[in-house]
Amino acid sequence: MKINFKILTIIILSMASLTIYSCDGSAVSTSKQGESAGHGEGHGEGESEEHEHGESSHVDLTADQIKQIGLNFTTIKMQYLADAQTLTGALAVPNDHKAFLTALFGGVLKGLRVQPGDQVKQGQVIGTMSNPALFPLQQQLQTVQNQLQLTQLEVARQQELVNGNAAPLKRLQQVEMELANLQEQRKSLRQQLQEFGASQQYSSTVYLKAPIAGTVSKIFSQIGSNVDLNSPILEIVDNSELHLDLFIYEKDLANVKKGQQLTFSTVNNPEQQYQAEIILIGGAFEANSSAIAVHAKVLGVKTNLLEGMQVMASLNLGSKQVPAVPNESIVSYQGKDYIFIAKSNAIAKNSTEDAKLNEQEFERLEVAKGISKGGFTAITPVKELDPATKVVQKGAFFLIAKMTNAGEHSH
């Protein structure tokens, strides 16, 4: 039979209120009887003493209540739970995977074909500039090419004369040298125009090409603006080599080793988990801190990861066997953590025979929580328990609600 725990808690409050009213009435009645019988006074003093002792660490349930809430039990078991070290930091990209698009030849920015967030390939044309100062270079190239054509004809002619013994070899050698010089001039002019992103024909247009493949992260210039020589126009970041810049304190440094793998998530999306591997551990403290830098390479999928995002990383320090209970067995109250144990072996059997019992007692026991993993949490009880001790699993919330509500009224 399923039951709504919120409704059940309200019922408990109502029952507790009725009980208190009854107790108050009994106290008055006992007080009146105490005027004619001495043993009534003794009972009143006992109740007063219980109030002074404060909230009890025990709570009772009837068999019907146990059946209604579906109370069941577990034991404290030795579980292998992974210990972890938490590190904080941010995503970063190595300098050799970031680049500015700059103009090697100044001019007016005529167009940009990309926006922040766009993916680009190395060498892709992503913008254009204009500068009439390109014309002299292009004209010089044309002149050199014309001279080359004439010199090539002269070389051929001198070669024929030499073959027919009609001209000296020295003249052929001079013409061949002139040809080689002109070829070097043409090569230099072509390379300059190529570096500038300009055409070898007469044109004032400069084509802006992506220096690396990656994502456009920032744009610094607007269309129509005058871009100076070497001024950055935009930035491209290659996120394929993302890594983590993490920080760890000196006392935890022994837990960190090169090659260790860790999981991490971004602060704004903690549900999405990513993997990384430690590649470098700093050898000095960071400025004005007692922390040491740890660098880790992001592995596998890097979707939705960008440079500068804040991250939380968890470094697995290995598993160890510890006493643990299911998470639902632990309840918190006033800043402390508790479990409930059954005080009767008959109830602890958790069988249908339990319903035949009239009442069951449970004890609230304070514990210190440890590692949590896979639905279990390590605990250290304030007192030693027998391994066979039955711990309430389902229903611990009901017990703490009943106990604390009753405890409030007991004061």
Number of Cβ within 10 Å of residue 29's Cβ equals 11
Is 89's pLDDT higher than 70?
yes
> Binning pLDDT at 50, 70 and 90, where does residue 49 land?
very low
Question: 225 or 316, which is more confident?
Answer: 225
Question: 157 or 201, which is more confident?
Answer: 157
> Binning pLDDT at 50, 70 and 90, where does residue 235 land?
very high
Digit-coded pLDDT (tens) for 367-390: 998 878 778 888 988 888 888 899
Question: 262 or 52, which is more confident?
Answer: 262
Lowest-confidence segment of 91-95, 130-134, 147-151, 257-261 by average pLDDT: 130-134
Distance of CA 143 to the CA centre of its chain: 61
Is 333's pLDDT higher than 80?
yes
Q: What's the angle, vertex CA 77, arms to CA 71 and CA 81, rounded to 5?
A: 115
> Binning pLDDT at 50, 70 and 90, where does residue 314 land?
confident
Sheet holding 107-112, edge to edge: 205-209, 125-130, 107-112, 226-227
Tell me the β-bridge partners of 90.
Answer: 245, 310
Is 150's pLDDT higher than 90?
yes
Give the H or E element holding residue 348: helix 345-348
Q: Cβ contacts of residue 95 below 8 Å, gap of 6+?
A: none
The span from the CA of 407 to the CA of 386, in Å, is 28
Distance of CA 27 to the CA centre of its chain: 60
Give the H or E element holding residue 46: helix 38-53
Q: Counting every residue, how long is the chain?
A: 411
